[in-house]
Structure 1
């Protein structure tokens, strides 16, 4: 068998995919709409590299992401390289090493792709599309509220309607746990049970703990501290330590600002939300769309990250998973995104210069235009234009003759003179 006769291997590695024009247009639409929101809040884009030295990148990675990092030898330097599994550490590095002389705060945004190892049977994406913002140099409730309000505005901008932002506060949990005589493994199991809202398992763990009843009651209340602003009152009654009370006061100030922004209808408080416990230093939040189990965005305060690159600055931010957004809003985006071209120019005569000049003229006016180069019939050209989502087909017979404009939306046909086409702003 000749090599050219061999069947082409078309499988892709697990966790990656191709995006054909419609899906690609939807991803591009999401990126553009999110970027518009970021820009309106004063955030400026940065572009991060797709390769980093592993030892530099790992300074900003938690244990979970270190284990999921693709790494390999660099023949040029002899050092290990890595594909970043997340963009926030890269932004922290840029701020610390390239922008440290600039006045704070820094308002930076990004959009790009990262790679992560996943379990072989997990069925999760390894090629991850991220878009987000980082606000570096501010440690205040207003800055935290700004992130949440931007996330709400971003979701509305891409067409989401039924969504919630769940807000947590890891300092509240740390205040409850501070000073308790629990070994590290039991404390971790307790946090995991709270995160799963598994009151039965939590009760069993607390029975083993030997803690005082008052401490057990404070911990056992955590999975139930979920709901609207009234949760703050219940939380304050359930704790006595100052660290947790200070966290509640900060959260209350965040909600006051969100009330001014008019987004409280989308907000839920969850003081048992402990994702990112070892990374975040205060407010955390996640975005959920109705009927979709996975988060579409996540964020929060992380005041200790930039100092790992020798630049101490408070920071907060959030990131969207564009693929999760695409999955959640696929039907909505069908109404917003149509990958179409404005005009296909079909020539019936031998003199192609007329059709070519017309294509240049329409492009100069901002339209997307294709000259139908194939030698085919009018019917075949029209069928092609319909299948490829053109808005119009122009039939050019020759110089001086009217051009037939066919609308592929409603089938309307009209003759247009060259005098009309020569107008500077001819409208299709």
Structure 2
């Protein structure tokens, strides 16, 4: 241990007698907690519930003969994510850390996941493609950066086609879209669609047109005053009443509609906070240069407003991703719903800790990834 490290320890942990006592007590308590968790995880926990039901957690009742489509979807999403990460993670030191962390994760997955030989080869191939995509994104970041949004938009209908079928592929009904697959799909669609609606509502609330402004205010305040579970029940029960008798919306679409309607109201308030942070002088200067209202909003106001509220927007995205778990109360078997189904199996009754720790880890990985990406995006835009 170097002198610098010893100085830091003395200054921050052992500066006085009561700080030293508090440090020792915290270390003992932390050791006691960690030892208990490790003992339970290695001697008492029955992780067979995860190994046996891993396909159910990931894709639910998706037909096993069509798993190759799920692998292609995973490959498309992984490659695009790697290219996006390569564009934003351009520093050499940070790149090295990302590669080391990713290599460790892939190695752990290959060891602990109960996959057959073919599946392990497929996972390893996807890992190689991710490395390649990361390198491409990092080396051609200036060329690819303007096209990233378009690539994601174009990939989305391809992913939906692979999952749902049609146009030459065997159709898979939505009641077989379960587990993590349904959670990610509903969260992605809800985030993508609620964001522009929230921006429009925020602009409408600050509009000079009374009808537009009061409609936006009324919608935002009513939705924010109702709990999400109420919105979801209304979307499942009330929405079909406003449609023609021969039109039946799928339950998944109704669930997505409820999430969008709820999230858009909170998104609008976050964006409105960013709009209010823009100095009025910039708007007046833009109009003095001859720009009309639409160009002022698109070129001057919105870019700065959205950059100012990136943490709040990503916080809303993370909240929306976790709120998909409420759909299990409406009969949709997403990640939390499939966990409840697995716990109903006679051989795994009472295995609540193992199952909910596993799905909690999945939620944490995706939420932390969004948080990390937002911090990197915020730093990139501030430069």
- What's the TM-score once normalised by structure 1's chain length? 0.29
Which protein has the bigger helix share?
2
Q: Which has the higher contact order (CA 8 A, sep 6+)?
A: 2
**Which of 1 and 2 has greater Rg?**
1
Report the structure, 1 or 2, having the larger strand content.
Answer: 1
> TM-score, normalised on structure 2?
0.31
